[in-house]
Structure 1
Amino acid sequence: MNDFLKDCFKKIGWKKDHVSFDDLPLFLKAMAYRYPFENRAVLAKENYKVTKEELWRRLIKEQHGGLCYDLNGFLYYVLRDAGFHVKLIRGTVYAGKQEEWALEGTHAAVWLSAEKGDYIVDIGFGINLALEPIPLSGETVQSPVGAFRIKEKATEMGTHLLLMDKGEGWQIGYAFTLEERDPGDLDDMKDLIHSHEKSPFNKSLLASKLTPNGRMVMSDRHFTIHENGGEGQKSDIAPSEFEEKLNTYFL
């Protein structure tokens, strides 16, 4: 085990010195419970390269979460160093409320190949996380958030769809192709998210994270905690409180 993995395992509280395929549900939970989905770097216009070394600095040595290119980029490097056969892929999120595709090609995810088949793994889709590998063969997996499955269907944005059912029927999460992407594509995604007028993440602060008991969601105006499937406890906050609450509750 190299130092990168040692540092990662220590950060997320992983007690083993390896990760097997059967460990992945617990390992993905540990990652999701440790790292929030948050966009401070976008609003602050932080200029950094999405490389293995930079992700090590931001996610292990410093106190950051990130967006999909940070979190799934990090997951890609961790799983690769842990001995898994993984590839980076690129997708496009479907904005259900607007009933349209979001900014094209700005979702990063990881394609994992194992003896039992091929899967998508993702810790960077907000709180919409399966918390285990999702089979490309179409079987449904269940998490506290809802049900997830992959459907092979051609759209203008790809060859496959990630579908989610969070209690209101199956909906599109994102479309993707299985074309392997170079890690340098993570920078392209970051640059688009930082600068494009259609980016949903460069307008106002946000953070979300799953927890063992539920989930937390925060904007620069509200902070909501959901526990054990109950009603959310929503409180008003001032924009100046965002950083403090992020550090206290999310990091």
Structure 2
Amino acid sequence: MTKLNRLFRNRIGIAEEEIITFEELHTILEKTAKAIPFENLCVVANKTAPITKENLIDKIMKKSEGGLCYELNTILYFFLEENGFDVSLIRGTVFNHTNQSWGTIGETHVANIVNHQGEAYLVDTGFGGNLPLTPVPLNGETVTSSNGEFRVKKLDDRYVLEMKLKYKDEDWKTGYAFYSEKAVEDLNELNEIQKIINEHEQSPFNKNPLVTRITNRGNITLTNTSFTQWEDGKVHKEEIDEKRFREIIREYFNINIG
């Protein structure tokens, strides 16, 4: 068993001897979402490292940090590949709900496509609080998880992830669009994405800290000014200062920022 395989299993809480099948992939996705936060702390602190397998192992597994989509889904890609899955990384364009338009910084979202018994599935562990927590088939079928309902629809030559988050959405809303067969060929593409996220003036992740994680009863989200907890459909929001930020990030996310 490789170092990454062993450390990933340890981080999300599954045994080294457990054989991972497609039928159990939803369990892997749930455990990953609850154990590894979506966060941009290195981006905001200007301390990002090149995207390599070793750097991802060091950041996410050894230092117990989280990451953004191009980090979280890439380490998931390596893990699934080492466990025998037919998997590829793909890029997507996120829909901006504030402006009701497609994002202006290009295909900067990264997710996975898993092929199983002739069917293709979207597998994503890097979409913040919007995670399907289960493979989503590209045939339009709706799937349900503890986080809501999800489906992938064909839009011209692209696919679009749509979601109806539990307790939050009454109607379907758009997540992101992607090309299923336009695979990431090498990690240089991910470093290009990281550069855009780090430097572009319209990047949503290079200005203020954001840390979020799925929980057993909903999700939690931390910014530099507030801490929001969703539990069984009820929301509690606390306004915070820098001292409280450091307390929360240690207590709820197990991240020590010094």
| Between 187-196 and 163-172, the greater mean CA deviation after superposition | 163-172
Name the CA distance, whole Å, in 2 between partners of 1:79 and 1:221: 36
Q: Which runs of 5+ in 1 are unaligned?
A: none
Please give the per-residue CA displacement for 1:153-189, whole angstroms capped at 9, x wherever unaligned. 12xxx61101112332111100111201123211111
Give the superposition deviation at 1:116.
5.5
- Is residue 113 from structure 1 mapped to residue 115 from structure 2 by the alignment? yes
SS for the counterpart of 1:201 is coil
Partner residue, 1:164:
163
| Between 9-18 and 31-40, the greater mean CA deviation after superposition | 9-18
Which aligned pairs between 1:6-25 and structure 2 lie closer than 5 A? 6-15=6-15, 16-25=17-26
Q: TM-score, normalised by structure 2?
A: 0.92
Give the superposition deviation at 1:240.
4.1
Name the CA distance, whole Å, in 1 between partners of 2:125 and 2:3: 22
Name the CA distance, whole Å, in 1 between partners of 2:126 and 2:190: 13
SS for the counterpart of 1:127 is helix
SS for the counterpart of 2:175 is strand
Name the CA distance, whole Å, in 1 between partners of 2:19 and 2:250: 29
Name the CA distance, whole Å, in 2 between partners of 1:146 and 1:14: 24
| Between 236-245 and 50-59, the greater mean CA deviation after superposition | 236-245
Give the AA of the match of 1:176: F
Give the superposition deviation at 1:242.
2.3
SS for the counterpart of 2:170 is coil
Which aligned pairs between 1:207-246 and structure 2 lie closer than 5 A? 207-229=211-233, 231-246=234-249
| Between 68-77 and 139-148, the greater mean CA deviation after superposition | 139-148
Give the superposition deviation at 1:6.
1.1
Identical-pair percentage: 37
Name the CA distance, whole Å, in 2 between partners of 1:32 and 1:153: 28
Partner residue, 2:144:
142
Give the superposition deviation at 1:97.
1.7
Name the CA distance, whole Å, in 2 between partners of 1:91 and 1:110: 10
Give the superposition deviation at 1:54.
0.8
Partner residue, 1:125:
127
- Is residue 250 from structure 1 mapped to residue 243 from structure 2 by the alignment? no
Please give the per-residue CA displacement for 1:44-73, whole angstroms capped at 9, x wherever unaligned. 111311111111111110021111011111
Q: TM-score, normalised by structure 1?
A: 0.94
Name the CA distance, whole Å, in 1 between partners of 2:206 and 2:224: 13
Which aligned pairs between 1:51-130 and structure 2 lie closer than 5 A? 51-102=52-103, 103-115=105-117, 117-130=119-132
Which residue, 191, 195, 198 being the options, matches 1:194?
A: 198
Give the AA of the match of 2:3: D
SS for the counterpart of 2:247 is helix
Name the CA distance, whole Å, in 1 between partners of 2:242 and 2:197: 21
Determine if contact 2:133/2:147 at 8 Å carries over to the other structure.
no
